[in-house]
Amino acid sequence: MIIDDQYYDVIIVGTGAGGGTLAQKLAPSGKKILLLERGDRMALDNQNVANVDVFKKERYHAPEQWYDQAGEPFSPQTNYAVGGNTKIYGAVLMRMRSRDFDAVPHQEGIAPEWPLKYGDLEPYYTAAEKLYQVHGDVGQDPTEPDRSGDYPFPAVDHEPLIQKFVDAIAQQGLHPTSLPLSLTRQTDDPTGDSEVFGVDAALKFDHVTLKTNARVVSLHTNPSGAEIKGVQAEVDGQAILFSGHIVVLACGAVNSAALMLNSANEKHPDGLANSSDQVGRNLMRHQMTVIVERGGTNNSGKFPRSVSVNDFYWGDNDFEYPMGHIENSGGLLQDVIFAESPPLLSVLAQVMPGSGLKQLAMRSVGWWAQTGVLPDANNRVRLQTGKLRYEFTPNNTEAHDRLVYRWIETLKALERDTNAKRSAVYPRGESPTQVVGYQSGTCRMGSDSATSVLDINCRTHDIDNLYVVDSSFFPSCASVGPALTVMANALRVGDRLLEHL
C-alpha cells in the first residue's frame, strides 16, 4: 500500500449533498482539504436526460449488488459520481416543517424528537437556499415554516397544462404552492447540484484537492481506538493510505454505515463508533407512490416538477396522523424514479417501441405521493460475509395509502368540476426496493451515546475526529425530501468544524 505523504486538515469522503456542501463551506478557511470520491465526473450528456431513454431499466444504477432482507440481490439506483445523487435528483429543495423536529405521533408510533429544533437550522436553510440558487414562492402552503427571508429567486412558471391543474386544485379549497427548485439558469445543465455549487466552488481554492475514482474501503484508528489515523482508499485500483486531522464521512446513509461496519478492529469489534450497536440501524426511506393521470392534451414531457400540495401533510378530516406530501412529477420523460415505478409505463417500456412510449408519456401527467416512515431498529444496513445487506420493511403504510386514495379522489373531483374528460383508471405504483435515493438514518444524531451514533454536531460519540454529514444523521424521516436538510446541516457542521480547527 502506498502511504500518501501529505497531511490534511480535513478529509471528506463522498461529494454529494453532504460532502460537496461541506467542502464549499470549509474551502475559504485556508485549511488543507482532501475530497475522496469513488465515482468520476459525470458526462453532461449523461445528466438531465429527457427522453424515453430514462425508461431503460437500470440507467442510473450502481455497478454492484446489495441484498434485501430476503437475501435477494438487487442493483441500487444510486449515483457514484462527483455530486453523488444530486446529479440525478429532482432538485426539489424543501425545508422540513417545524413540527417535524418535534416528537410527532403517527398511527404506528411516535417519530422521535430531534436534538435540534427548526430554529437552530433556519439560518442554515436560508444559506443553503442561497448557495443552491433555490427558486420558490412562499405562497399559501399551510405547513410552510417561518422563514427569515424570501427565496433567493422567484419560482419558475408552471407548464401551461400544469397551471390549469393548479387553478383547479385551488378551486377544491386546497393550497397548491410552487415547489422550491435548485436551478443554475444554464440551458446545458439546468438543475443545481453539489458538483456545481459545492465541489467546483471549493476547488477554486488551491489547498482543496479532489481525487476521483477513489473508493474508501476502510478507516484505521490509533492503538487506543480514540482517533482515526488512516483512511484507506482504492484510487484507480491502487491502495493508498491518507491521513488527516479530521475525517468526515459523506458517502450516503447506506455506504457510510457500511464503511464504519467494515472498519471493525480490536478496539471497535462491532464496527467503528458502534459501542451502542446503532450503526446501520434505523434505516429509513420515504414511501413513494406515483399516480399517472391522462393529461387530456399533449405536453412536452420535459418540464420541471413545479407543484406542491401539503394540505394532507398533518392528516385529514377523518385521520389525525401525518399523511404526507404531494408533488407533480414534472415531464415524464425526465423523471428517473418514475421510470422505475409505475406499472403502466415501466411494463410498457419493456415491450413498446420508443415512439409509442414517448407519445404515452407526453399524454400523461404524473403525481408523487410521499410519506415518511418511523425509525425501526430492525430496518438496517449490515454486512454479512462481505455482502451489503439492505434490510428494510416499510411501516406507517396506512397513512401512505390514505394519502394516495385521497389524492386520487382529488383528481376525480378536479376532472368532474372542470368538465375534463374523466380518467377511468389512475395507474399507480410504489417505488420498488432498488429506489434507495431517499435513504436516511443509519447513524442517528442524539444526546445519549447509548441510543445514538452522532452527537449534536454530527461527531461520533466514540471517535474524537470522526464526523458524518450525509443523510445518516436523521433521527426521523419527514415527508418532504431530505436533500436541503442534508445541505443545511453540512453548513451547520461546517461552522462547528471551523471553530474546532
**Positions that interact with ligand FAD (CB under 6 A):** 13-19, 36-39, 77, 80, 84-86, 88-92, 215-216, 250-253, 255, 259, 336-337, 437-438, 470-471, 481-484, 486
Least separation in angstroms between CB 73 and ligand FAD: 19
Least separation in angstroms between CB 397 and ligand FAD: 21
* Element holding 109 (H helix, E strand): strand 109-111
Least separation in angstroms between CB 417 and ligand FAD: 30
Q: Are strands 104-106 and 73-74 parallel, antiparallel or unpaired?
A: unpaired
Least separation in angstroms between CB 304 and ligand FAD: 10
Least separation in angstroms between CB 387 and ligand FAD: 15
User: Which of 278, 334 has the CB closer to ligand FAD?
Assistant: 334
- Of 213, 364, 352, 381, give the one whose Cα is nearest residue 303: 364
Is the CB of residue 213 less than 8 Å from the CB of residue 36? Answer: no
Q: Are strands 33-36 and 364-371 parallel, antiparallel or unpaired?
A: unpaired
User: Which of 19, 301 has the CB closer to ligand FAD?
Assistant: 19
User: Which of 36, 111 has the CB closer to ligand FAD?
Assistant: 36
User: Which of 294, 375 has the CB closer to ligand FAD?
Assistant: 375
CB atoms within 10 A of CB 260: 31
Q: How many CA atoms lie within 13 A of 218 on its CB side?
A: 12
Q: Are strands 364-371 and 177-178 parallel, antiparallel or unpaired?
A: unpaired
| Extended strands (E) in 203-295 | 208-211, 214-221, 228-235, 238-249, 287-294
User: Which of 91, 414 has the CB closer to ligand FAD?
Assistant: 91
Closest residue to ligand FAD, based on beta-carbon distance: 16
Least separation in angstroms between CB 194 and ligand FAD: 6
User: Which of 86, 306 has the CB closer to ligand FAD?
Assistant: 86
User: Which of 420, 474 has the CB closer to ligand FAD?
Assistant: 474
Q: What are phi and psi of 426, to 5 degrees?
A: -125, 85
- Of 192, 378, 168, give the one whose Cα is nearest residue 293: 168
Residue 395 DSSP class: -
Residue 444 exposed, middle or buried by CB count within 10 Å (0-12, 13-18, 19+): buried
Least separation in angstroms between CB 396 and ligand FAD: 19
- Write out the three cell numbers for 188: 446545458
User: Which of 85, 328 has the CB closer to ligand FAD?
Assistant: 85
Least separation in angstroms between CB 208 and ligand FAD: 16
Q: Are strands 238-249 and 325-328 parallel, antiparallel or unpaired?
A: unpaired
Residue 366 pairs in a beta bridge with 292
Least separation in angstroms between CB 440 and ligand FAD: 7
CA distances from 18 to 12, 195, 201, 240, 250 (A): 10, 11, 14, 24, 6
User: Which of 38, 461 has the CB closer to ligand FAD?
Assistant: 38
